Structure 1
Amino acid sequence: MFNNIGVSGLIIILLIALIVFGPAKLPLLGRAFGDTLREFRSSTRGIVEDDTGTQRIDKPDELEKLL
């Protein structure tokens, strides 16, 4: 989707966002966008792990409980 966007395209997009939202709202929008992407990735990771039957263990305490 974004394969053909170069540096100049990103600069134009950022300038348009700066004009539309203003400098005060851009950090809030970026943080909200990052949180949304993080939640989406964790949700899709959970779906993929359910399909493969594997379980990801993030904490060492969870590993000790399984052993």
Structure 2
Amino acid sequence: MGKFGVTEWILIIAVILLLFGGKKIPELMKGLGSGVKEFKNAAKDDSPAEKKKEETKSEE
């Protein structure tokens, strides 16, 4: 229990296709990909090592 088999995945994909249609899914995936990319960039920009570098530069 808790694991998805092939039949369940096919059913899930069919429901998604019915809800959003074939043309809308690539747009949704593109939006999801850009959101993940922005999140990674924001996480990388806020890293502790970079904050220390910025503090050191501002003190000089």
TM-score by length of 1: 0.54
> Which 5+ residue runs of structure 2 have no aligned equivalent?
54-60
Percent identity between the two aligned chains: 22
| CA distance 1:10–1:41, shift in 2 (3 Å) | farther
Q: Establish whether residue 24 from structure 1 lines up as the match of residue 23 from structure 2.
A: yes
Higher relative contact order (CA 8 A, sep 6+): 2
TM-score by length of 2: 0.59
The structure number with the bigger radius of gyration is: 2
Other structure's SS at 1:23 match: coil
> Which 5+ residue runs of structure 1 have no aligned equivalent?
56-67
Q: Provide the aligned length of Structure 1 versus Structure 2.
A: 50
Q: CA RMSD in A?
A: 2.7
